[in-house]
Amino acid sequence: MSHHAKARRASPEPSLQSWFTRIAEAHQRIGDAVHRTPVVTSATLDGVCGARVFLKCENLQRTGAFKIRGATNAVRSLTGEERRRGVVAHSSGNHAQAVALAARMAGTRAHIVMPEDSSPVKLAATRGYGAQVHLCKPTLASREETAARLQEEHDLVLVHPFDDDRVIAGQGTAAKELLEEMPDLDVLLAPVSGGGLLSGSAIAARSLCPGIRIIGCEPLHADDAHRSFREGSLQPGSARATIADGLRATLSEKTLGLLLAFVDEIVTVPEEAILPALLFVLQRIKLVIEPSSAVVIAPLLSGALDVKDKKVGVILSGGNVGPEVLGMLGAF
């Protein structure tokens, strides 16, 4: 038995059926507020990896990322009293924009804590959706402390980016849509950061297609999920920088438990493979994706994952890429 298999069995398995019911309910709750994003194929990509690949294009989602699913489910799940109080969230970008828009749609106020080094594009978008932005030092501790202080001062409801059942259930709706369209996939790939998307995707996929192989993809420079999955316990984050800035969060006990129960493997992607994968998608598939999405394409291009003759589903998590990243592509 592999070390992974031991770690998975050691985990108390949450009820797959009850979790999938939450995802189905979330799908109903958010249906009129989010796009049912297209599933795109590429003969060129299929030829490179010898498989049939189906790309679930959350880069074309509202706010440019899958995060609007979980944020909308969380905000629409609030009681009337909670909605009157308003919400607070901390995020460097995509979750910030998602909570801001979800709050605006629900007619409630949003306070968003963002690191002072956040992308100007993401800061402007978050403010544009009507949120009040509070800048903090660029550390997780500062983000959490600032959010906790605002929560206390203004009696707000916290919408955590991943450590929240409502958010996880919402994120799982993307994989649910993909599996409804492509019911016989052999493999599903999704990026992993705090684990909300991968947890929700794994629950949806395992429920709709029990034999599917579920693989998380993560930058080697932010490999805490890979280490935590291998050890079966939470491991600290990495201090190294990665261009995949959306994947810097670390797992929570909740998301690690779900990954141990339902995911087969977490693979790491070297930093130098990320931008070439982004460029491949831009040039050959004509899709704009962010580096965090390129992390799921890189292992297919490099052959690091053997998917020959398989049907592979891929969650392209977002398309919020700034000019500073696009400017780097001239090097390739």
d(CA 267, CA 285): 24
- Length of the chain, please? 332
What are the DSSP E strand ranges found in the chain? 39-40, 52-57, 87-90, 110-115, 132-136, 157-158, 187-191, 213-219, 265-269, 311-316
Gap between the Cα atoms of 61 and 37, Å rounded: 6
Q: Among 158, 176, 196, identify where a domain stops.
A: 158
| Phi, psi at 271, each rounded to 5° | -55, -40
Q: Specify whether 35 is located in the same domain as 45.
A: yes
Tokens 């905000």 found at? 75
Please state the φ and ψ torsions of residue 223, each to the nearest 5 degrees. Answer: -100, 25
Q: 292 and 175, same structural domain?
A: yes
Please give the average pLDDT of every successive group of 10 residues along the chain, which has 332 residues. 41 78 98 97 98 98 97 98 97 93 97 91 92 94 96 97 97 98 97 98 97 98 97 93 91 97 98 97 97 98 96 96 83 72
Are the C-beta atoms of 10 and 263 separated by less than 8 Å? no
Catalytic residue among 56, 67, 122, 176: 67
Cβ-proximal residues to 79 (8 Å cutoff; 6+ apart), any chain? none
* Strands of 213-219's sheet in order across: 39-40, 52-57, 311-316, 187-191, 213-219, 265-269
Tokens representing 211 are 């034999």
Give the pLDDT of residue 9.
42
91, 92, 119, 228: the catalytic one is 92
Q: Are residues 189 and 137 in the same domain?
A: no
The parent domain of residue 310 ranges over 3-66+164-331
Note the pLDDT of residue 157.
98
Please tell me whether residues 48 and 169 are part of one structural domain.
yes
Q: Which two tokens stand for residue 283?
A: 């040039």
CA distance 136 to 252: 22
Q: In the chain, how many domains are there?
A: 2
Is the same domain home to 115 and 210? no
Q: Are residues 194 and 276 in the same domain?
A: yes
Return the pLDDT at 324. 81
Same domain, residue pair 267 and 130: no
Q: Is 228 a catalytic residue?
A: no
Q: Is 311 a catalytic residue?
A: no
247 and 120 within one domain? no
Residue 146: CATH number of its domain: 3.40.50.1100
Same-domain status, 276 and 183: yes
- Is residue 52 domain-shared with residue 71, that is, in the same domain? no
Domain edge (last residue) among 93, 126, 158: 158
Same domain, 231 and 319: yes
Same domain assignment for residues 222 and 119: no
Domain end point (choices 97, 123, 158): 158
